[in-house]
Amino acid sequence: MMAYHLKLAWLSFRKTPVMSSLIIGAIGLGIGVCISLLTVYVLMIKDPAPGFSDRLFTYKLDNQAVETAETSTAMKHPLVGYRDAMNIIKSDIPVNQSLHYQTAAVIYPANTNQSPVTERLRLANAGFFAVHRVPFLYGSPWTDADEMSDPYQTVLTRALNETLFAGENSVGQSLKIGPNHYKIIGVMDDFKPMPLYLETDGGAFNEITGALIPFSLTPVLEMRKNGGSTRCRSDPAEDTFAAFLETDCYWIHHWVELASADDVARFTQYLDDYGLQQRQFGRFMGNAMHEVHGVLSWLEDRQVVNQDYRILLSVAFLFLLVCLLNCIGLLLAKFLGKSSEISLRRAVGGSRKMIFRQYMVEVTLIGFLGGCVGLLVAASGLVGIRALYRNYEQLTHLTLELSGIAILLAIVSTIIAGLFPVWQVCRLPVSQHLKSQ
């Protein structure tokens, strides 16, 4: 009977192509708009460190320079200063700790035929690779010992290795970054946490590109942060990099890996104790309301998905609702146009249930076709979003899962929209329409 109903649905589509296309188009438009925005949203809110995000934490210090009645979360800077980072990293509570910041440098390819390129450069400690589970294509990261004894080592991102070495294993080769030569000890495999939780200030949907060198070179190279946020409570005493490091400027990302809830509590206490100690030195005059955030709570705090986007998504679903309300009217008009056929079917033995099933199959087919059109609209929408927002590149790929959701959403919403029209035509007075054909 299902095949029969599908055949009738197809005939019905052929009989009223304009009306059917309008309905399918309306559903497709509503679904397309929703799915394109939902695609971005789902990628925005997904866990960027699946399997270990519950072990990663960062913090906001209550480091007000003056006493305040209360300290709001907005008053606390999300990054940490060099002096505090160097102190807090001494804690033995975390399993691993990651310090890093981003700058830029000119990189001179080993092949002299290639022009030098300006690339992102990250200064990161050895713990960076362990904390964020960075995968390696070739070689391995540096160790804490390397950072101290032989810091002129570098790890390339896969993309940079493609650019400079055509993807070949470059481990062991030398690379000039800025004025110094570095030994390549590793090449990262694809590492694209999305959102980029470990570094939200430079754009939470950017990729990590370029090269990485040890964090211990920070005071040596005197490389300031390039991109992202740096905020200072006061001007440095002197115009030197050493003075900048001693000033209360906040620019470094500090993530810790904590093994248990107890360790989280201990680390929080450690920050409290550190804050009290600093208060005695005339710093941290706030209320010692330090915050420790997990990955997801950090993304929430940093408003990676801002309220405007949520409102936009709600508006998209309201738009779908409007489309479906239109569909109710169109479906009713389409089905009422078949009153005589429905009455005839009832007269020759079709029960209300049978007629209901037949038309719900037609509605389901319309929903399916609407979903297919919706996918095309969504794909076009995502191309548009990509063109408008370059840093959303990673977020604008329609996944198979979301494509399935689009079809399912289209079918379910069309079925819901179709219930009223189908119910109405099932209740038509049979004899009246038989006579009036």
Distance (Å, rounded) from C-alpha 339 to C-alpha 329? 15
Q: What are the residues binding another protein (CB under 8 A)?
A: 1, 4, 11-12, 14-15, 340-341, 343-354, 429-431, 434-435, 437
Q: How far is the CB of 352 from another protein (least distance, A)?
A: 5
Closest Cα to residue 437, out of 348, 304, 337? Answer: 337
Coil/strand/helix, residue 117: strand
Q: How far is the CB of 298 from another protein (least distance, A)?
A: 60
Residue written as token pair 């990955």: 295
Coil/strand/helix, residue 13: helix
Q: How far is the CB of 50 from another protein (least distance, A)?
A: 51
Residue with smaller CB distance to another protein, 1 or 388: 1
Residue with smaller CB distance to another protein, 288 or 363: 363
Q: What is the CA radius of gyration of the chain?
A: 30
Residue 242 sits at the vertex; the CA angle it makes with 239 and 248, to the nearest 5 degrees, is 85
Residue with smaller CB distance to another protein, 55 or 346: 346
Task: Classify residue 97 by burial, with Cβ atoms within 10 Å: 0-12, 13-18, 19+.
Answer: buried
CB–CB of 124/99 below 8 Å?
yes
Q: How far is the CB of 427 from another protein (least distance, A)?
A: 10
Per DSSP, helices labelled H in 115-225 are 127-131, 144-149, 158-165, 218-221
**DSSP category for residue 187:** E
Residue with smaller CB distance to another protein, 39 or 343: 343
Q: How far is the CB of 4 from another protein (least distance, A)?
A: 6
Strand partners for 420: none
3-state secondary structure labels for all residues of 66-88: CCCCCCCHHHCCCCECHHHHHHH
Residue with smaller CB distance to another protein, 12 or 103: 12
Residue with smaller CB distance to another protein, 15 or 224: 15
Q: How far is the CB of 294 from another protein (least distance, A)?
A: 58
Ranges of beta strands (E only) in 153-308 are 153-156, 174-177, 180-188, 211-214, 231-232, 249-250, 253-257, 291-294
Coil/strand/helix, residue 50: coil
Residue with smaller CB distance to another protein, 5 or 225: 5
Residue with smaller CB distance to another protein, 16 or 173: 16
Q: How far apart are the first and last CA of the chain?
A: 27
- Maximum Cα–Cα distance across the chain: 99
Q: How far is the CB of 2 from another protein (least distance, A)?
A: 12
Query: What is the CB neighbour count within 10 angstroms for residue 18?
Result: 7
Residue with smaller CB distance to another protein, 129 or 335: 335
Q: How far is the CB of 342 from another protein (least distance, A)?
A: 10
Q: How far is the CB of 430 from another protein (least distance, A)?
A: 5
